[in-house]
Amino acid sequence: FIIDMAKLAHENKILNLLVTNGYSTPEASAELVKYMDAANVDIKAFTDNFYKELCGVPSLQPVLDTCVRWKKAGMHIETTNLIIPNQNDNLDDIRNLAKWVKDNLGPETPLHFSAYYPTFKMSEKRTSYEILDKAYNIAKEEGLYYVYVGNMRHPKGENS
């Protein structure tokens, strides 16, 4: 369905933006890149354990591979990380994510940190301003040009 709609929009000169978890086969990624102009990929955490425990998939690597594949194909890529307290808020992991984005997608690639709010079966407390501020500062220290904070007001992370 996504490819059919993207193809139709592309044929009619309508730009396509895909918001995705990035967990894709190489074949599906190759087909999507033909019709998509941009993608925002949700890198849920920077550990395989998070992907195994919370997402039920073996590893993070297919998501990273998708990002690199699309970037190399010329697609505009942005990344998002929803920070969930006690799940993926380790500052070393956040630093490793920022380094990976810079080294593999380029320092011009936007990285969005979003605040988590408890809902449905996830009852962790909401993300604190302090952790979002630290994440923002870490990403800037690592050399990313465009770092944003979402789902919470943040004076440095709302625009570039």
Predicted confidence at residue 73, as pLDDT, reads: 96
Please check whether residue 129 lies inside any domain of the structure: yes
Burial 100-115, CB ≥16 within 10 A → b, else e: bbbeebeeebbbbbbb
Summarize pLDDT for 123-149 with one digit per residue, the tens.
778 999 999 999 999 999 999 999 999
Summarize pLDDT for 11-37 with one digit per residue, the tens.
999 999 999 999 999 999 999 999 999
Confidence of residue 1 (pLDDT cuts 50, 70, 90): confident
Coil/strand/helix, residue 57: coil
Instruction: State the CATH number of the domain containing residue 7.
Output: 3.20.20.70
Summarize pLDDT for 71-103 with one digit per residue, the tens.
999 999 999 999 999 999 999 999 999 999 999
Please check whether residue 158 lies inside any domain of the structure: no
Please check whether residue 159 lies inside any domain of the structure: no
pTM (whole model) above 0.75: yes
CB 149 within 8 A of CB 127: no
Predicted confidence at residue 33, as pLDDT, reads: 93
Summarize pLDDT for 44-74 with one digit per residue, the tens.
999 999 999 999 999 999 999 999 999 999 9
pLDDT greater than 80 at residue 117: yes
Q: Write out the residue range of the structural domain in which residue 106 sits.
A: 2-150
Largest pairwise CA distance in the chain: 45
Predicted confidence at residue 14, as pLDDT, reads: 96
Q: What angle do CA 55, 56, 62 make, to 5 degrees?
A: 75
CB 150 within 8 A of CB 144: no
Q: What angle do CA 98, 103, 96 make, to 5 degrees?
A: 30
Please check whether residue 157 lies inside any domain of the structure: no
Tell me how many domains the chain contains: 1
Q: How many CB atoms are located within 10 Å of the residue 79 CB?
A: 23
Please check whether residue 156 lies inside any domain of the structure: no
